Amino acid sequence: MAVLGGPVLVVDDDTVSRHVLVQALASAELPYVAVASGSEALAQIERVKPSIVLLDLVMPAPDGYQVLRILRARAETKDLPVVVLTGLDAEDEIAKAFEAGADDFVKKPFKPVELVARIRGQLRLRAAMEELAKKEKDANVVLELTQALASNLDFRGILFTVVQRIAEVAKVDRVSIVLVREQGQIGYVVAASDDEHLRDLPIDLSKYPEIQQVLSSGEPLVIHDAATSSLLEIVRHDAQARAFSSLAILPILYEGRPLGVLFLRARRSSAFGEHEVALCRTVSSAMAIALRNARVLQSLRDQTQQVTVARFEAERRLKSLQRYADFFESAADGIVVLDHEGRLLFSNPKAREITGYDENDLRGRRLGDLFAPEDSARAHDLRVGFMKGRFPQGVDLRIRRKDDRTITVSVNFNSVLREEGAVLSSFRDVTQERAVETELVKTKDFLQRVIDASVDAIISADMSGRILLFNRAAERIYSKTSAEMIGTDVRGLYPGTTAKEVMKLIRSGGGRVEGLRTDVISSKGELVPVSLSAALIFEGDTPTGSVGIFTDLRERMRMEQRLQAAQEQILAQERQAIIAELAGAAAHELNQPLTAVINYALLLKRWVESPQALHAVEVISSEADRMAEIVKKIGKITKYETKMYVGHARILDLDKASEAESGEARPLGEEPR
């Protein structure tokens, strides 16, 4: 008898006793490992994985009792068989050993025949228990898969679940179901454990001689090494065939006729033992019945489509759906079952709650009758799609409740009940969600319009510098369209290392910077002066992007230049006014002495008689008149009006002085009336 799992571990501190034990095991051709202490035993158990332990109870610490308690406390050794060795006669010691977890005991001195018999008995018992556990596990797996196969709810999905579960239990890399038609050379892979979405993949059976042999013989075929199998010689060049080292193919037979095969493949050699093959053979038998039932249901559906009495057809199908009623009744979504003409065969409570109708109102009603008028035409399109195998998912439809209120529902159609000639539809009320989504879209559009209407450029980028937002004002500054700039690097907007410097300022400013005067570079290579306000965008405490608002300063700078020129012109005018004021003041100051000089010259003409003195007076009068003319010219140039000066005196009235040129001014020195 082969030892299961590993050698016999002998634990005895007595050298002579250990030698006798080893000799007995060697004579019985049982592999062994011998140690002299409990601590060595615990270490060896981890290393050699023994199938049984011969344990002396009386040893230095840890003694046999302690070792037993440790083994039973560990999950990996709690079921490891232990036969204790004891030289004690006391029954309480033997009872204590069994309480500690011993499976059997041998009393010293022992007979080798008895020792070997007890070891073999424990191994047989353990093997029987493991076999029983394995059979129980296999039975549970078969029961699980058989129950799944007995249900036609999403039969395609069930087949995938079956092959996936077989792959897990058998520990193989791929399990497939290949169905064939009678007298056909094409097979169809209807399910594969490593591809949930695989459906009806056609394969040329001439490239699969192993499948052909199983179909023709009706017997399972196991190939332990594909690299040396003569059967696979003709397809060994195929890369897919070389990917697997061992194969197991089991026929799916119904009443002696093959419907297909269950195809197991593993990358390791000799992956399939009797246990795996027997399990898969049982599953393949259950699968044959399930597939046959599915084909029968399909045939019945084809026949009933020819029946002209629609009521009988609806009632028959309704009965076939009753087994799903418990599941549908507890569903959180509304569920209805439709026939191929769009009539409602079944509705669950949630469907009735959403629509406001009771069960009698819904049964037999056409799907289109529930639609709001604006969606009524879609019912026909859906029925046509069902006939062509199109089953939309996530469709929004507006339906009219019994209370005339229109709501929006999100509907999924599924072909899982096609074997019954029916379509399953699940839906939920999304009126509020769609209203919120609509408002969000409106808000987004409004914000987009606000951004586009902004006179300032608004540019946003992610943390890697990729531009995400580029409004119309930015297009004007950079002379590039948003389509050209979205996705490009934001650093290309700035000259040199300006972008890096701006980001440093933002980070040092606590995530924002305002009113920064800088330059950006347009698509023509021109530097554009801007005022920049920028900030980081945070999600929680994590920065996820940045946004900048750029104000184009070119027009402002032109206005500032024009304002500066105007200020300079005003300053010049002010200077001229000051000069005019000074000239007017000077004319006023000269006016008084000139008046005196002229008047005194007139008096002197009356008083002097000598020619010399009279000549001098004439010279004085002539020069005073010439000076008066100069003052008049100064007044004409300045146009300076007279103002009150000191007392009742007024400075020169330059306008009047200008009129004097035309002969209308009063005599120089005459006081105003």
Domain-embedded: residue 36: yes
Residue 297 pLDDT greater than 50, yes or no: no
Q: Which residue has the higher pLDDT, 378 or 149?
A: 378
Chain centroid, CA 133 distance in Å: 44
- Which helix (H) or strand (E) covers residue 287, if one does? helix 274-304
Domain co-membership, 201 together with 118: no
User: Which of 293-307, 318-332, 508-522, 651-665 reaches the highest mean pLDDT?
Assistant: 508-522
User: Domain check: are 287 and 314 in the same one?
Assistant: no
Per-residue 3-state assignment (H helix, E strand, C coil) for 421-485: CEEEEEEEECHHHHHHHHHHHHHHHHHHHHHHHCCCEEEEEECCCEEEEECHHHHHHHCCCHHHH
**pLDDT tens by residue, 537-564:** 998 889 999 999 999 888 888 888 888 8
Cis status, amide bond into 62, omega within 30 of 0: yes
Q: Please state, in angstroms and rounded to a whole number, the distance separating the CA atoms of residues 19 and 281.
A: 49
What is d(CA 611, CA 605) in angstroms, rounded to the nearest whole number? Answer: 11
- 168 belongs to a structural domain: yes
- What's the distance, CA 308 to chain centroid? 51
Sheet (strand 542-552) strand order: 467-470, 457-462, 542-552, 527-539, 512-521
Residue 437 lies in a domain: no
Both 165 and 293 in one domain: the answer is yes
Cα–Cα distance between 119 and 56 in angstroms, integer?
A: 15
| 546 and 471 in a common domain | yes
Residue 80 has pLDDT above 70, yes or no: yes
What are φ and ψ of residue 18, in 5° steps?
Answer: -65, -40
Residue 197 or 428, more confident: 428
Structure tokens at 392: 């939309």
Residues in contact with 631: Cβ distance below 8 Å, sequence separation at least 6, in sequence order: 587, 590, 591, 594, 652, 657, 668
Q: Is residue 600 part of a domain?
A: yes
Whether residues 122 and 216 share a domain: the answer is no
The answer to whether the CB of 244 falls within 8 A of the CB of 250 is: no
- The answer to whether residue 153 scores a pLDDT higher than 80 is no
Residue at a domain's end among 520, 552, 584: 552
CA distance 90 to 82: 20
3-state class (DSSP) for residue 252: strand
pLDDT number for residue 75: 82
Q: Best-predicted range by mean pLDDT among 202-206, 343-347, 375-379, 400-404?
A: 400-404
Check which CATH number belongs to the domain holding 118 and give it. 3.40.50.2300
Would the pLDDT of 657 be above 80?
A: no
Confidence at residue 661, expressed as pLDDT on a 0 to 100 scale: 45
Secondary structure class of 550 (helix, strand, coil): strand
Cα-only R_g, the chain? 55
Helices and strands, number each (H, E), in the chain: 22, 21
> Which pLDDT does position 546 carry in this prediction?
92
Given a cut of 60, whether residue 644 has pLDDT beyond it is no
Q: How far apart are CA 335 and CA 354, in angstroms?
A: 10
Question: For 471-506, what is each residue's pLDDT tens digit?
Answer: 988 888 888 898 889 999 988 889 988 888 898 898
Which range among 246-250, 354-358, 661-665 shows the weakest confidence by mean pLDDT?
Answer: 661-665
Q: What is the 8-class DSSP label of residue 639?
A: T
Are residues 158 and 125 located together in one domain of the fold? no
What is the structure's pLDDT at 488?
A: 92
What mean pLDDT comes out for the span 16-39? 86
Higher-confidence position of 419 and 543: 543
Phi/psi of residue 226, nearest 5 degrees: -65, -25
pLDDT-based confidence at residue 312 (cuts at 50, 70, 90): low
Q: Which has the higher per-residue pLDDT, 72 or 323? A: 72
Last residue of a domain, one of 67, 98, 133: 133
151 vs 145: CA distance, rounded Å: 10
Together in a domain, 35 and 58: yes
CA distance 446 to 111: 97
State the residue range of the domain holding 116.
8-133
> In the predicted model, is pLDDT for residue 664 greater than 70?
no
Mean pLDDT is lowest, of 24-33, 107-116, 450-459, 538-547, for 107-116
> CB of 432 within 8 A of CB of 408?
no
User: Can you tell me the mean pLDDT for 412-434?
Assistant: 77
Query: Which phi and psi (to 5°) does residue 88 adopt?
Result: -85, 140
pLDDT at 531 over 80: yes
CATH classification of the domain holding 314: 3.30.450.20
Q: What is the pLDDT of residue 203?
A: 86
Per-residue pLDDT at 643: 46
Q: Is 49 left (phi over 0), alpha (psi -120 to 50) or beta?
A: left
d(CA 126, CA 91): 26
Does the residue 319 lie in any domain?
A: yes
**How many CB atoms neighbour CB 350 within 10 A?**
20
How much is the pLDDT for 555? Answer: 83
Q: What per-residue confidence (pLDDT) applies to 462?
A: 92
Lowest mean pLDDT among 523-532, 579-588, 640-649: 640-649
Between 21 and 324, the more confident residue is 21
Q: Choose between 247 and 283: higher pLDDT.
A: 247
Give how far Cα 574 sits from Cα of 1, 567, 569, 579, 581, Å. Answer: 127, 10, 9, 9, 10
Amino acid of residue 243: A
Residues 327 and 230 in one domain: no
Distance CA 359, CA 341 (A): 19
The count of other CB atoms within 10 Å of the CB of residue 368 is 15
For 110, 182, 573, 584, 627, the CA distances from 632, given in Å and listed in that order, are: 158, 134, 23, 10, 9
Mean of all residue pLDDT scores within the chain: 78
Which tens digits make up the pLDDT trace of 383-404? 888 777 788 888 888 988 989 8
CA distance 399 to 547: 44
**pLDDT higher than 50, residue 652:** no
Cis peptide before 109 (omega within 30 of 0): yes
Distance CA 294, CA 149 (A): 10
- Is residue 240 predicted with pLDDT exceeding 60? no
Percent of the chain with pLDDT over 70: 78
**What distance in Å separates the CA atoms of residue 649 and residue 455, rounded to the nearest whole number?**
61
In this structure, are 542 and 586 located in the same domain? no
| Cα distance between residue 395 and residue 371, in whole Å | 13
User: Both tokens of residue 382?
Assistant: 């859906």
- Does 155 share its domain with 233? yes
Do residues 474 and 548 both lie within one domain?
Answer: yes
Any domain includes 160? yes
**What's the number of domains the chain is made of?**
5
Boundary-marking domain end, from 512, 530, 552: 552
Task: Tell me the C-alpha distance between 105 and 85, whole Å.
Answer: 6
442, part of any domain: no
Which is it for strands 174-180 and 104-107: parallel, antiparallel or unpaired? unpaired
- Looking at the fold, whether 240 and 343 belong to one and the same domain comes out as no
Collapsing DSSP states into helix, strand and coil, what is residue 61?
coil
Q: Is 412 a member of any domain?
A: yes
At residue 496, the pLDDT reads 87
